[in-house]
Structure 1
Amino acid sequence: MEALYREAILDHYKHPRRKGHLDAPDIQYHDHNPFCGDELTIELKVEDGVVVDAAFDGRGCAISQATASMIMEEIVGLSVDEL
């Protein structure tokens, strides 16, 4: 089971999904971790309170970048209240 998780993390790190920027995002959030240096910007397009597109950009360790990739895939279709 552990190998499966490791494989998924490495796949998302090497081949990130939804990495980049959106044209005219409705929501944009940027933050950084002063302890490790990771930086992340999240951009969302929202229609009628539902996330219709999502993207991220940034730099950091494999875990932070893979996690951002995984989360971007999961939040499309959720309401803003569910985030």
Structure 2
Amino acid sequence: MDQLYREAIIDHYRHPRRKGHLEEPDIHYHDTNPFCGDEITIELKVKDGVVVDAAFDGRGCAISQASASMMMEEIVGMPVEELKHWGKEDVLDMLGI
């Protein structure tokens, strides 16, 4: 993993972006990893099929929390239909892994 991406992950873990909750989100998703216990809640505001605001809350390891922070910044402005097709490779690309 490139040093720049490692630094970005550490920065997002120490200073998470968009952490918290949205008032009246259009989409609310919660999940727990049964293997490690990481927990995440994602909330999105959507207008005309596009994500206009995003927030997350949760607890877990540095990678899970930094990934959530980075993802929330990445998805604002994206069409929901595009997000429905995101897979593992899209997330890894976003993280620089």
Q: Identity over the aligned pairs, expressed in percent?
A: 82
Residues 12-53 of structure 1: CA distance to partner in whole angstroms, max 9, x if unpaired?
000000000000000000000010000000000000111000
> Secondary structure in 2 aligned to 1:63?
helix
- Indicate the residue corresponding to 2:25 in structure 1: 25
Consecutive unaligned residues in structure 1, runs of 5 or more: none
- Indicate the residue corresponding to 1:65 in structure 2: 65
> Secondary structure in 2 aligned to 1:82?
helix
Consecutive unaligned residues in structure 2, runs of 5 or more: 84-97
State the superposition RMSD in angstroms.
0.9
- Indicate the residue corresponding to 1:54 in structure 2: 54
Give me the TM-score of the superposition, normalised by structure 2: 0.83
- What displacement does 1:2 show? 2.6
Corresponding pairs, count: 83
